[in-house]
Amino acid sequence: MPRLAWTVVALGLLASSASRPPDTLVTYRVVPHTTDPAIQRFDEPHYVVFDRDGSPSATLLLFMSGTGGQPAGTSDFLRVAAGQGYRVVSLAYDDQPAVVGVCPRDPDPACSGLVRQRRIFGDPVTRVIDDTPAESIVNRLAKLLAALERDHPSEGWGQYLEAGAPRWERIAVSGHSQGAGMAAYIAQRARVARVVLFSSPWDFFGRDRRLAPWVLAGPGATPPVSWFGAYHKKENTADLLAESYKALKIPRDHIRVFTLEPGRVIGQNPYHLSVLNNGATPRDADGVPLYADDWRFLVGTASHSERTQ
């Protein structure tokens, strides 16, 4: 199996010395099929970033982009998270068709939960999507971590695996849009270190846009104190997001409602992208994202555990 794709030490992409992440951040880009030849689709490189001078036993932050997003498309946020002590993986995954693109028209209220279950865990519980087990989020993450451990054995990536599967208690989960829904679904079913949601989930069904049953099921295995969320007050689905975060029992003081105008108008719902997309997030005169302090609040400071060998 070929070694991982190239490595770069990323220096000073955020201009303000008071706000930028440390200059010791290391970035890896890893093409999914090099970690598992059975992965054939959605093969954009995973984006991995961490502080080479940080704790080798820091919590891992798994991030999943929104529909059509690139793993590096939120690199400013990912670098901020790495500056908070996390080891960060922005995962390429099967993100089309989008959950909200197929399930609102489906009469089955369980549609979105079943789609997420298949897309995350590879379980053949629905035919609405054709994701294979190899393409599942869990397999992609596990194979990436195994490959990182193989090619960089001194960095301890294997500590986030147990019996070849993600060791969720050592992992914080996050995402934007569809990816945030995936993070929430994982956190309901496994106790994770932290949950950070950007502008999702807002899965609904029916003409009256009722929230999907899985959302209404609440926080599940991960206690509410570990849940955090953000969205923009002008998003097209801001009302559903507020209702969803309440159903998931995210504490009110763990929620940030953004209000700034987008740095650049992209698409038909620019406020949705502006919460952390590199091209849309508002910036100051030096180019520093104006939500960087909010991002730091949401991700917190990475915890550390004794590394297991």
* Beta pairing, strands 60-64 & 87-91: parallel
pLDDT at 23: 81
Q: Assess whether the previous peptide bond of 201 is cis (omega < 30° from 0).
A: yes
User: Rounded distance, CA 112 to CA 126, Å?
Assistant: 10
pTM (predicted TM-score): 0.92
Main-chain dihedrals φ then ψ at residue 116, nearest 5 degrees: -65, -40
Q: How confident is the prediction for the chain on average, in pLDDT?
A: 92
Mean pLDDT, residues 244-261 taken together:
98
Q: Is 9 exposed, middle or buried (0-12, 13-18, 19+ CB in 10 A)?
A: exposed
Measure CA 178 to chain center: 9
Alpha carbon distance, N-terminus to C-terminus of the chain: 23
User: pLDDT at position 21, please?
Assistant: 64
**What secondary structure letter does DSSP report for 133?**
G
Mean pLDDT of 8-21: 40
The pLDDT of residue 303:
85
Predicted local distance difference test score (pLDDT) of residue 19: 52
Backbone Cα Rg of the chain: 18
Q: What secondary structure letter does DSSP report for 188?
A: H
* Structure confidence by residue, pLDDT tens digits, 34-84: 999 999 999 999 999 999 999 999 999 999 999 999 999 999 999 999 999
Q: Each residue of 190-208: pLDDT tens digit?
A: 999 999 999 999 999 988 8
Neighbours of 73 (CB within 10 A): 22
pLDDT tens digits along 105-157: 888 999 999 999 999 999 999 999 999 999 999 999 999 999 999 999 999 99
Q: Mean pLDDT throughout 6-25? A: 49
Domains of the chain are 7-299 (3.40.50)
pLDDT of 309 higher than 70: no
pLDDT tens for residues 270-286? 999 999 999 999 999 99
pLDDT at 99 over 60: yes
**pLDDT, average across residues 225-244:** 97
Query: Which of 185, 149, 189, 190 has its CA nearest to residue 168?
Result: 190
Tell me the pLDDT tens digit for each residue of 260-271. Answer: 999 999 888 899
